[in-house]
């Protein structure tokens, strides 16, 4: 009778341990999903930041400078949670440098007095688009890869825990 109690106690401890792993895995996965959401919102904001500059070149409307500033603030706000990802300081530094370059290039474009049909504008806009593209592809893309790998590890851990829980249930059912 005491050996049966011992077996059930061990099975109970194993079940409790695996339950804790599953719970922590869910918390971590939730955080990873939030990180992915932040990355997607940051990517969208970076993609949108070039539009006011382009619109300024087409229309010459100085209100586009204000719109650019608002979107840049949104990019900075969206970058803050992304900076919190552990172990990716080099990517974050590259993104901040890219955003500084983007801002300088936009200021150079906004400094053009007669922006409509200015031949220099096409070259500057191409350079601005290239900077934004580099931020999205090279920096945000690396963050996406890191997050995708994290999620894959979490899913593998959950599958491993599920298999252990199956064994605990089978063993518990067999002894009962």
Phi, psi angles (nearest 5°) of residue 111: -75, -15
Block means of pLDDT (10 residues each) for the chain, length 176 residues? 76 80 84 84 88 87 93 85 57 80 90 75 87 83 84 87 78 66
154 vs 168: CA distance, rounded Å: 21
Report pLDDT for 64: 93
Report pLDDT for 85: 56
Report pLDDT for 66: 95
Report pLDDT for 31: 85
Report pLDDT for 115: 65
50 vs 31: CA distance, rounded Å: 30
Report pLDDT for 65: 93
Torsion of CA 106, 107, 112, 118, to 10 degrees: -10
What pTM value is reported for the model?
0.72
67: burial class by Cβ within 10 Å (0-12, 13-18, 19+)? middle
Token pair of 119 as six digits? 């031949």
The answer to whether 170 and 51 have CB atoms below 8 angstroms apart is: no
With a CB cutoff of 8 Å and minimum separation 6, the contacts of 165 are 15, 18, 22
Phi, psi angles (nearest 5°) of residue 67: -60, -40
Report pLDDT for 106: 92
């Amino acid at each position: 009778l005491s050996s049966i109690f011992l077996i059930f106690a061990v099975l109970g401890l194993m079940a409790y341990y695996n339950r804790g792993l599953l719970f922590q895995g869910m918390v971590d996965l939730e955080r990873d999903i939030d990180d992915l959401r932040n990355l997607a919102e940051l990517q969208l904001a970076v993609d949108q930041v070039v539009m006011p500059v382009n619109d300024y070149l087409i229309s010459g409307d100085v209100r586009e400078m204000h719109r650019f500033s608002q979107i840049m603030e949104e990019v900075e706000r969206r970058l803050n949670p992304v900076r919190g990802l552990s172990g990716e300081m080099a990517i974050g530094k590259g993104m901040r440098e890219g955003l500084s370059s983007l801002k300088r290039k936009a200021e150079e474009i906004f400094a053009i007095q007669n922006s409509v049909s200015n031949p220099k504008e096409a070259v500057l806009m191409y350079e601005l688009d290239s900077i934004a593209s580099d931020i999205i592809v090279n920096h945000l893309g690396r963050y996406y890869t890191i997050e995708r790998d994290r999620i894959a590890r979490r899913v593998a851990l959950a599958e491993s825990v599920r298999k252990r829980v199956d064994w605990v249930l089978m063993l518990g059912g067999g002894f009962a």
